[in-house]
Structure 1
C-alpha cells in the first residue's frame, strides 16, 4: 500500500516590516486566490514581522556552517518546511526592502533548488525590485519563475491607502490573469524541483 503524497507547500512571504506597510491587503488577497486557483499546492502566509530577525551577523551562510543566532535558526527551520516561495514586495529606492534582503541572507541551504515567484506593488509595480529580487534568488540557487504580478499605476492608487484604499476586488479583473500565470509557473517548477531533490 502506498502512502498518498502531500501537496507541495508554498510560503507567501510578506517582505516589508514597516508599520505603515500596504502588504497585508494584497498578501491576504493572494492567499485566498491561490487556494482557489492552485488546489494541488498548500499555501501559508509568512510575515517577517513575526520573526524579528537581527541584521545578518553570522560567520558565514548556513550553507557553510550552522548559524549561531537562535532567531536565524528559527527562520531557517520555518523556510525548510516549504517547497517554493512567493515574495510579496514593495519597491524601496529601486530595490527590495532591507528586511527582505536580510531574511534571504539569514537562510542558505533552505532556498536551494526551490522556485521563487514575486508579487510586487507600488507606483511602478515594484518592477525594479522584482528584477533585483530575481537576481538575488539566482545567487541563492533558487529557480525564479518568469511570470510575476505587478500592482502599479492607477490600480495601485485605487487600492492603496495613498489613494482610494478600495478593496482588492476593485482591481481583481486586471491582475488575476497575472496571478493565474504566476501560480501555473510556480506549480510546475515546484513539482519538478521537488521530484528532482
Structure 2
C-alpha cells in the first residue's frame, strides 16, 4: 500500500494572514516523516463563490467549475490538516464554505487541526470537529493550539514557531495520530472498494 497522502489546507485567504507561518512550520515537520506524503493546499488557489448550488454535491453535481476542481483535489487525499484561525469564536467563512463544497470526497478520512488565536483557535477547532463529523470524517483527538502570546512573538520577529518546544511536541502528537488513522482508514476504504468490485464482477 502506498503512503497516505495528506493535504495541509490553509484555511484563510486574507492578504495579511498569519496562516502561512504555521502551515510552513507544520509542513516542514511532516516532510521529515516517512509514513505520510504531505501537500500544502491553499484556498487562495480555489476562489469558491459562497455556496449557492441547488444542493449538496452528495445529491446533485456542482455547477461551479471551481467547485468541481476543488472536489477533484480533495478526492485525491487520504487525510487532512486544516489551519484554523478564529473569527468571532468560530472558523473562517472561507474554510467552512470550502468544506460545504464537497461531501463524499471527505468521507472516511481523518481530519486534524492547527489552530491559532486568543485561545489557540480552540473554539474554531471545536466547531470544525462538528462539521467534520457531519461530513463523515474522523477528527482526531490531538490538535495544535498556538496561543496569542506565542503568535505575538512570531509576528514581531523575535521567535519562530520551531523554537517553541511545546508546539513541536503537539505537532508530533498530531502527526503520529494522523498517520495512524490515515493508514487505517485508507486500508479500510481500499478493502471496501475491492469488495464492491468483486461483487460487481
Question: Quick check: 1:102 aligned with 2:94?
Answer: no
Q: 1:123, 1:156 within 8 Å by CA — same for their partners in 2? A: no
Q: 2:3, 2:183 within 8 Å by CA — same for their partners in 1? A: no
The Cα of 1:124 is off from its aligned counterpart by 1.2
Question: Following the alignment from structure 1 to structure 2, what is the Cα–Cα distance between the partners of residues 13 and 114?
Answer: 14
Q: 1:123, 1:157 within 8 Å by CA — same for their partners in 2? A: no
Look up the match of 1:61.
56
Q: 1:115, 1:145 within 8 Å by CA — same for their partners in 2? A: yes
Match among 109, 114, 133 for residue 138 of structure 1: 133
Question: Following the alignment from structure 1 to structure 2, what is the Cα–Cα distance between the partners of residues 182 and 42?
Answer: 15
The Cα of 1:165 is off from its aligned counterpart by 5.6
Look up the match of 2:163.
170
The Cα of 1:158 is off from its aligned counterpart by 1.1
Look up the match of 2:11.
15
RMSD (Å) for aligned C-alpha atoms: 1.1
Secondary structure of the residue that 1:194 maps to in structure 2?
Answer: helix
The Cα of 1:164 is off from its aligned counterpart by 4.3
The Cα of 1:168 is off from its aligned counterpart by 2.1
Question: Quick check: 1:181 aligned with 2:177?
Answer: no
The Cα of 1:66 is off from its aligned counterpart by 1.0
Question: Following the alignment from structure 1 to structure 2, what is the Cα–Cα distance between the partners of residues 66 and 123?
Answer: 39
Distance 1:58 1:167, change over 3 A: same
Q: 1:90, 1:129 within 8 Å by CA — same for their partners in 2? A: yes
Question: Following the alignment from structure 1 to structure 2, what is the Cα–Cα distance between the partners of residues 56 and 165?
Answer: 40
Distance 1:159 1:122, change over 3 A: same
Look up the match of 1:190.
182
Question: Following the alignment from structure 1 to structure 2, what is the Cα–Cα distance between the partners of residues 21 and 71?
Answer: 22
Question: Following the alignment from structure 2 to structure 1, what is the Cα–Cα distance between the partners of residues 18 and 123?
Answer: 18
TM, length-normalised to structure 1: 0.93
Equivalent residues in 2 for 1:66-145, closer than 5 Å: 66-145=61-140
Question: Following the alignment from structure 1 to structure 2, what is the Cα–Cα distance between the partners of residues 111 and 143?
Answer: 9
Q: Which runs of 5+ in 1 are unaligned?
A: none
Secondary structure of the residue that 2:31 maps to in structure 1?
Answer: helix
Question: Following the alignment from structure 1 to structure 2, what is the Cα–Cα distance between the partners of residues 187 and 170?
Answer: 24
Question: Following the alignment from structure 2 to structure 1, what is the Cα–Cα distance between the partners of residues 96 and 104?
Answer: 16
TM, length-normalised to structure 2: 0.91
Q: Number of matched residues? A: 189
